[in-house]
Structure 1
Amino acid sequence: MSVIYVLLTISIIVAILFFVAFIISVKNGQYEDSYTPSVRMLFEDELVVKTTKEKTPKINPTK
């Protein structure tokens, strides 16, 4: 039964440490990005052009 108390105490301490780290990062401006959201939709669907060096003969279907 005492193991439960130890694990509960350790988990609460770890949770508090993560919460303090989150608060510090918010206060330091870690999550403030004013540029990326405004241009995100411009660069979301970029086309990737693949160039191949294979030369395939073009067949003209009208001949």
Structure 2
Amino acid sequence: MRIDIDRDVCIGAGQCALTAPRVFTQDDDGFSMLLPGREDGGGDPMVRQAARACPVGAITVTEAAR
């Protein structure tokens, strides 16, 4: 899976970090970012739920090409 965060859209609500804290965190300015090594979601089943929880739709989850 591939996770993209549109930092131009992100408002720093933090719902992603609350929903999937093993994948998402917030930077020093409060905006969403992926934890190091979690660019593929790390197998966390909450990644899609975290994307849906984003109030501005800044997170996109897509399946990796095979």
TM-score using structure 2 length: 0.19
Which structure shows the bigger proportion of residues in strand conformation? Answer: 2
Greater RCO (CA < 8 Å, at least 6 residues apart): 2
| CA radius of gyration, larger in | 1
More helix by share: 1
